[in-house]
A and B are shown apart, each in its own frame.
Chain A
Amino acid sequence: MHWTSLDTSIVIVAALGAMACALLGSFLLLRRMSMMGDAISHAVLPGLVAAFLISGSRSAMAMLIGAAVVGILTAAFTQWVHQLGKVEESASMGVVFTALFAVGLVMIVRFADSVDLDPECVLYGAIELTPLDTVTLLGKPVARSAVVLAAVLLLDVAFVLAFYKELRISSFDPALATTLGIHARLMHYVLMTLVAMTTVACFESIGSILVIAMLIVPPAAAHLLTDRYGVLLLLSTLLGAASAGLGHLGAIWAPTWWGFEDTNTAGMMAVAAGLLFAAAVLFSPRHGIISRALQRLRLTLRITIEDVLGLLYRVEEQGLIIRPGAAIELLRRTTGSGWLGRLAMAELRRRRCIATMADGLRLTGAGRRAAASLIRSHRLWEAYTARHVALPTDHLHHSAERAEHFISRPMREALAGDLDGVRTDPQGRTIPNGGTALDPTKAGA
């Protein structure tokens, strides 16, 4: 693998395009219109051909205008079909963009002699060739597409900064935006125009696959990582740039692992974005699958620990003693898994809440205090529901068994206050005194 200045140049061009797309894509994502990026980038084809036929050249300006016009038309047609025909929005998008794409294809074939547009080139882009086409800027040769894409990126950033607040409100709540005097529909169409223009500006250099991927994937990944609007925009832009760099690296490096030569850079950039997305799905601190599984496991363990304490307290209350094996068997029957019970018991021993004596399990002083406050929560809740909710007595335990784990100390005292003077639960068992009891959550954590 040889990284040359050519590679740096390719990555810069791709990163510029990726950032522009990812920035606008964030708004599409927030508006639940990610597929609009896909639709517009297919639908602009007739606009490109028309622009070519009218202007007679492949000048960037004509292409941008043609794309903008058709981009607006796509958004408008989709809206009309959706509203006039009551067709579901995604279906109306599917109807409109495939039809426009077909028109474009027919135009290309019909005017094949006069139109020098290759659908394959639009699809794949020719990012590997961009460093060869240079212009002189400040005395240095710079890739022409880098200049174009930098201009597009600047335009997009300027638009977002200028209408930061308006875009935010109209993305999250179009109705509120309208009542605040913001023209939500105008914002929508301006955004669609920008998407169409950005898309086309990127087509020539980085290809439509990469454009669609960058419009959708980095914003989706960023959305999994943050709940804040500003951070989302920034993160999605950064992820776009990172996918460009990683993708190119992957394109010249990854195939060699299996003994192949290098491959298409744009495709690998989309794959890199996909890998970043997969990482976000798995490892995002708040919304990731793994972190959510860990949270759930932690909660389950806490509840099992408290169940063990409750069990031992009730056993002691009746003057009995339980052996560790029997306790685990009981827990296995209620929670469905033996290892969770064993884990909970090990944790309790580590915290010195229970001890194994010769005749069986016993609570230590600290353990008894924690268990007492848990049982207090349970029986207070039973007494409370018995008094205020018309439930038969044999239905009280189930709700208390769930609630006991989430009753905090202030709530416990509020319950006790409400039940002023009540010393036993509806089954006639004593409610342990809360005066000296420790909060189980504090004793646990």
Chain B
Amino acid sequence: MISAGEASSLRRRFRVRRVLGALLAAGVMLLLAHSAAMAGDAPSTPSASFDGAIEVSDHDLVRILTLRDYNTRVVVLGTALLGLAAGTVGVFMLLRKRALLGDALSHATLPGIGIAFIVMARSGGNGKWLPGLLLGAAISGAIGVAGVLLIRRWTRLKEDAALGVVLSVFFGLGVAILGVIQKMDTGNAAGLSSFIYGKTASMLAADTWLIAGAAGVVAVGCLLLFKEFGLLCFDLEFAGAQGWPTLLLDTLMLTLVILVTVIGLQAVGLILMIALLVIPPAAARFWTQRLSQMVLISAGIGAASGFVGSVVSATQPNLPAGAIIVLAASACFLISLTFGRARGVVFQFIERVRLERKTRCQHLLRAVFEWVEEGRGNGGVGATESKIPFSGLVRQRSWSRHRLDRIIVRAERDGLIERVGDTHVRLTSAGWDEARRVVRNHRLWELYLITHADIAPSHVDRDADELEHVLGQTMVRKLEGLLAEQAAATVPPSPHALA
């Protein structure tokens, strides 16, 4: 036991470690961004479009991969950091079953951008002053998110309709406002559409700085509130009952999402932003069952997609960076879906095949055991040496002859069974032990169902058929405890007539 004082000092130490980790993460972000913007070559033409470099030789490829080029460095680091930040908060959104909230949110920023532009242009300032536009985007994004949550709470509409209504109405309003701006004579609004399509290739050092700052805030926020966010995702009611301010925490989580989205929008565009919030977490889910690992993997996938996508689009002409980043993330998703260790399709398939094999082998053993027990073998009741004809087994389990052959071959390989001539089999001594165990589990479960679950003896066989393969040691001990009298024998007699 740990005393109360020790526990509180432990807790304090954990908190200190968390804060230190958060500060470290923030430092790394800032360092990366700093090296992106400052060190190395001076920017020759910082505002030049990335797509401009069309001729790419091997030498250029090396230059791009080693980030020696100023523009490349800005774009690659910016997208990688954005992927990292979006992948991190995206995990909580996915687990909170709000994967598409990012969709509604990013569409809902548009009217705010338009209104901010109009207000700034009318008041005589520069309409495209970035902090103002971002503030407008954040405010209307927050209103949109609040709208989704309120529609869900106050009306009978479900999540999907609430998201869809907010998304389309806000975006429509945004387009209408942009339409107004286009006919204004105060200034041109040419840059505003970059919030919809993004301008990945022509990102500036300032954009990367901004992204690095946002990524730092997100990393710090998620590290400091890791436990609380996790609690919110898995059991909101429990968190509330424990006295956590769930509404405040939820708002904080959404604020981080809004921050990332708004910063990322003008860098990579609407659709890409949604993809970065959804795809890396969904991919990470295939690899692990642990939240902390999932966050790390998701952030890694996001950063990797940003990195690979922007590098690939830099080496080839006519490849839009935003789309390539999404495709890189999708490729990660496909790979995870297929080969993921925890939930991947291949892994699950292998697991299933393995279980099926084990099941069939155990069914074979039980069939042989019951055959001998009935005294149908030529050695009399319980004779361990008796041979069993194939035909009998085929009848007993309604297997095809071909399938039986395959099961026997596999059981032979495991040393459980041996052939006697062409038509008979016999259990080895290891086979007898295993068969006794399986039959015992089967009958224990049957007895349990009959005595404790009130199921008719004629109905228990099929149910026990499925469970006998997965009964663990502790479960068997428990059953033995419950069925002390009947389970006294090494193998209890079958409670129903054998087929």
- Is A217's CB within 8 Å of the partner chain B? yes
Cross-chain contact of B330 among A91, A93, A102, A105 (Cβ < 8 A) = A102
**Nearest B residue (CB) for A80:** B337
B244 to chain A: which residues have CB within 8 Å?
A: none
Check if A94 sits within 8 Å of B278, measured CB to CB.
Answer: yes
Check if B343 sits within 8 Å of A281, measured CB to CB.
Answer: no
Main secondary structure of the interface of B (DSSP, over half): helix
Check if A85 sits within 8 Å of B103, measured CB to CB.
Answer: no
**Nearest B residue (CB) for A99:** B330
Q: Closest CB-CB distance, B463 to chain A, in whole Å?
A: 24
Check if B100 sits within 8 Å of A90, measured CB to CB.
Answer: yes
Check if B175 sits within 8 Å of A266, measured CB to CB.
Answer: yes
- Contact pattern, A 85-108, Cβ under 8 Å of B = 1, otherwise 0: 111101111110011011101100
B155 to chain A: which residues have CB within 8 Å?
A: 224, 281, 287, 289
Cα distance A101–B329 in the bound complex, in angstroms: 13
Cα distance A87–B334 in the bound complex, in angstroms: 12
Q: Using a CB-CB cutoff of 8 Å, which residues 222-279 of chain B contact chain A?
A: 271-272, 274-275, 278-279
Check if B167 sits within 8 Å of A212, measured CB to CB.
Answer: yes
Cα distance A267–B171 in the bound complex, in angstroms: 7
**Nearest A residue (CB) for B336:** A85
Most chain A CB within 10 A, of B157, B183, B330, is at B157
**A263-B183, A270-B169 given as contacts; is B154 within 8 A of A289 (CB)?**
yes
Q: Closest CB-CB distance, B434 to chain A, in whole Å?
A: 33
Cα distance A103–B271 in the bound complex, in angstroms: 12
Q: Closest CB-CB distance, B437 to chain A, in whole Å?
A: 33
- Is B480's CB within 8 Å of the partner chain A? no
B275 to chain A: which residues have CB within 8 Å?
A: 94-95, 98-99, 102
**Nearest B residue (CB) for A289:** B154
Check if A277 sits within 8 Å of B165, measured CB to CB.
Answer: yes
Check if B175 sits within 8 Å of A109, measured CB to CB.
Answer: no
B180 to chain A: which residues have CB within 8 Å?
A: 255, 260-261, 263
- Is B161's CB within 8 Å of the partner chain A? yes
Check if A210 sits within 8 Å of B164, measured CB to CB.
Answer: no
Cα distance A223–B162 in the bound complex, in angstroms: 12
- Is A124's CB within 8 Å of the partner chain B? yes
B68 to chain A: which residues have CB within 8 Å?
A: none
Check if A209 sits within 8 Å of B175, measured CB to CB.
Answer: yes
A42 to chain B: which residues have CB within 8 Å?
A: 271
Q: Closest CB-CB distance, A284 to chain B, in whole Å?
A: 9
B174 to chain A: which residues have CB within 8 Å?
A: 267
A267 to chain B: which residues have CB within 8 Å?
A: 171-179
Check if A274 sits within 8 Å of B158, measured CB to CB.
Answer: no
Cα distance A87–B342 in the bound complex, in angstroms: 13
Name the interface size band of chain A. 35 or more
Check if B323 sits within 8 Å of A102, measured CB to CB.
Answer: yes
**Nearest A residue (CB) for B269:** A105
A442 to chain B: which residues have CB within 8 Å?
A: none
**A35-B164, A37-B164 given as contacts; is B175 within 8 A of A101 (CB)?**
no
**Count of chain B residues with Cβ under 8 Å from any Cβ of A?**
60
- Is A408's CB within 8 Å of the partner chain B? no
Q: Of A26-34, A138-146, A368-376, which stretch is located at the interface? A: A26-34
Q: Using a CB-CB cutoff of 8 Å, which residues 291-325 of chain A contact chain B?
A: none
B179 to chain A: which residues have CB within 8 Å?
A: 251, 263-264, 267
Check if A212 sits within 8 Å of B164, measured CB to CB.
Answer: yes
B161 to chain A: which residues have CB within 8 Å?
A: 29, 32, 34, 216, 219-220, 223
- Is B160's CB within 8 Å of the partner chain A? yes
**A264-B179, A267-B176, A274-B169 given as contacts; is B274 within 8 A of A35 (CB)?**
no
- Is A110's CB within 8 Å of the partner chain B? yes
- Is B431's CB within 8 Å of the partner chain A? no
Cross-chain contact of B163 among A34, A120, A251, A273 (Cβ < 8 A) = A34
- Is B451's CB within 8 Å of the partner chain A? no
26 contacts between A and B (CB under 8 A): A35-B103, A35-B160, A81-B337, A94-B103, A95-B275, A95-B278, A95-B279, A98-B279, A99-B279, A105-B320, A106-B323, A109-B318, A209-B175, A212-B168, A216-B167, A217-B164, A251-B179, A260-B180, A261-B183, A266-B172, A270-B168, A270-B176, A271-B172, A271-B173, A274-B172, A289-B155
Residues of B at the A interface (CB closer than 8 Å) are 94, 97, 99-100, 102-103, 151, 154-161, 163-165, 167-169, 171-180, 183-184, 193, 196-197, 271-272, 274-275, 278-279, 281-282, 285-286, 318-320, 322-324, 326-327, 330, 333, 337, 343-345
Knowing that A32-B158, A102-B330, A273-B172 are A-B contacts, what are 18 other residue pairs whose CB atoms are under 8 Å apart, sorted by A's residue number? A32-B161, A90-B159, A91-B281, A94-B102, A95-B282, A99-B330, A99-B333, A105-B322, A106-B319, A209-B168, A217-B164, A262-B183, A266-B175, A268-B176, A271-B172, A273-B169, A287-B156, A289-B154
- Pairs A-B, 10 closest by C-beta atoms: A270-B172, A274-B169, A264-B179, A267-B176, A267-B175, A216-B164, A98-B275, A213-B168, A263-B179, A102-B326
